[in-house]
Amino acid sequence: MSESLARRLIDAWADQVDAGFILGDPAAPIETRLIPDPASGVTFRFRWLPHRDLRTDTAALERKGILNPDRDESALYRDPRDPSGRHCFLCPSNIRMCHPLEELIPIRAASRAWFAGANFAWLAQNHFTVIAEDHVDQSFDSSVVETMLDLHKQTGGEFRIVYNGAYAGATIPWHLHFHISTDPFPVESLDAGRVHSYPLPIRVFAASSALDEEVTDYVKGWEERDPEHHRVNMLVAERDEGPAAYVFLRDTRVIIARNKGLMGGWEVAGDFAYDDRRHDFEAADISAVRAAFADIVPPDARS
Ligand SMILES: [Zn+2]
């Protein structure tokens, strides 16, 4: 049972590649620059993923059959708070209308219904977005941590589970979702004794029976200090034969790095993906990493 969700997802990913739903070739070598950080001991990673440049190119996506050219725009649900007026990219009914090639895999986790859909503009191998069946806000409560731990457990620890707080990496803050994939993140190698040397405020919670309460209390404490601005990014990943939670403190006022753009869960975990800004990709070094993180340290966490 515990391994079966991982197998289902990995098989579905391969099927979606075969069906032509996945941009680029996930099996091809990725141009990568590895940046060891002597202070934290973490090796940061810059990757060149040019296929992602197509994700907003409607004509190209239609040509490839990834986006249905005959979709009925008037039937698509739009959140009235979205200033761009776009339809919600994460509502299952919208996905079925817009992306007929996309396989939506039903999942139960933490007593809620979800669907996993392969991310055609993938950032990692086996990259799925796990979306709530219902159109509900991306806001933090105890069920967020419970869901992350449940997804981790159901995939036998093979998948990494990422949560981005609303307006702090999540670009669709009105539909609850997670990102999951099988690629290890650089931060997973962070030694417990060097957490204070990581270039962004981070707490690492080791596996324990009270992990969900500990993480929930910590995140609530941070968000309640300034509910308007304080958010987190979180990663749940296997560490020492159990799930560990990595919590990154965020502030909605500082989410852009001048040499990267929007900093979300991938970047704070040490993985910088580029599909344009070739100059910034080529300028990858430890000072670039530190500069990117320095731009997003929350004002209330600066020492
Ligand atoms: Zn939605």
**pLDDT (tens digit per residue) in 91-108:** 999 999 999 999 999 999
Gap from CA of 139 to ligand 1 centroid (Å): 14
Gap from CA of 95 to ligand 1 centroid (Å): 9
Number of H helices, E strands in the chain: 8, 13
Gap from CA of 90 to ligand 1 centroid (Å): 5
Q: Which two tokens stand for residue 153?
A: 């457990």
Is the confidence at residue 177, as pLDDT, over 50? yes
Q: What is the predicted pLDDT for the residue at 2?
A: 47
Average pLDDT value for the chain = 96
What is the mean predicted confidence (pLDDT) over 238-266? 96
Gap from CA of 132 to ligand 1 centroid (Å): 8
Is the confidence at residue 1, as pLDDT, over 60? no
Q: What is the predicted pLDDT for the residue at 302?
A: 83
Residue 138: C-alpha distances to residues 57, 60, 132, 164, 166 (Å):
26, 29, 10, 8, 6
What is the mean predicted confidence (pLDDT) over 214-226? 98
Q: What is the predicted pLDDT for the residue at 284?
A: 94
Percentage of the chain surpassing pLDDT 70? 99
Gap from CA of 82 to ligand 1 centroid (Å): 11
Gap from CA of 175 to ligand 1 centroid (Å): 5
Q: What is the predicted pLDDT for the residue at 292?
A: 97
Range of the structural domain that residue 109 is part of: 4-301
Is the confidence at residue 290, as pLDDT, over 80? yes
- Could you report the per-residue pLDDT of 28-63, keeping only the tens digit for each? 999 999 999 999 999 999 999 999 999 999 999 999
Is the confidence at residue 197, as pLDDT, over 90? yes
pTM for the whole thing? 0.96
Per the CB < 8 A criterion, the answer to whether 200 and 268 are in contact is yes
Contacts with 196 (C-beta within 8 Å, 6 or more apart), sequence order: none
Confidence of residue 233 (pLDDT cuts 50, 70, 90): very high
DSSP-derived secondary structure for 60-112: HHHHTTSS-TT--GGGS---TT-TT-PPPTT-HHHHHHH-TTPPEEEEEETTE
For helices 142-154 and 211-225, what crossing angle results, to 10°? 140
Confidence of residue 241 (pLDDT cuts 50, 70, 90): confident
Gap from CA of 247 to ligand 1 centroid (Å): 25
Confidence of residue 170 (pLDDT cuts 50, 70, 90): confident
Gap from CA of 138 to ligand 1 centroid (Å): 10
Gap from CA of 137 to ligand 1 centroid (Å): 9
Domain count along the chain: 1
Dihedral pair phi/psi, residue 130, rounded to 5°: -100, 115
Is the confidence at residue 198, as pLDDT, over 70? yes
Gap from CA of 111 to ligand 1 centroid (Å): 19
CATH label of the domain that carries residue 254: 3.30.428.70
What is the mean predicted confidence (pLDDT) over 243-267? 97
Residue positions counted in the chain:
303
Gap from CA of 167 to ligand 1 centroid (Å): 16
